[in-house]
Amino acid sequence: MPRKPPPLFPQEQRLLSDLGERLRLARKRRRLSNAAVAGRAGISRTTLYKVETGDPGATLGSYMRVLAVLGLEGDLNQLAADDRLGRKLQDLALEPKRRAPRRALTVAGEPT
């Protein structure tokens, strides 16, 4: 029995639904039937329907195959390409740590 996909927040579900809608519109602009795209992608028409509706149970591979059939696979290179937050966190971790000033020692080795 297939596992149930993890629950999504409403904003994440909207993003997936919007992506599916854009893929459906791209298919229609190319005047390709859902059977033709599913066949070329090597997926079932049911899976294509899931992709085009933004179903979180559709695999990333299915999305990738549909993008490739539509000639849009290069768009995946733009995902997370400009990771500003990650670069800031990395830069913060690379900064040298400040050390406390050294205390002066007396002749006997006791601090002043």
CATH number of 10-94: 1.10.260.40
Q: For residue range 10-48, what is the model confidence (pLDDT) as tens digits? A: 999 999 999 999 999 999 999 999 999 999 999 999 999
Q: Note the pTM of the prediction, 2 decimals.
A: 0.72
Q: Which long-range contacts (CB under 8 A, 24 or more apart) does 23-30 make?
A: 23/51, 23/52, 23/63, 23/66, 23/67, 23/70, 24/52, 26/70, 26/72, 27/52, 27/66, 27/70, 30/70
Going from N- to C-terminal start, the domains of the chain cover 10-94
pLDDT tens per residue across span 45-78: 999 999 999 999 999 999 999 999 999 998 888 8
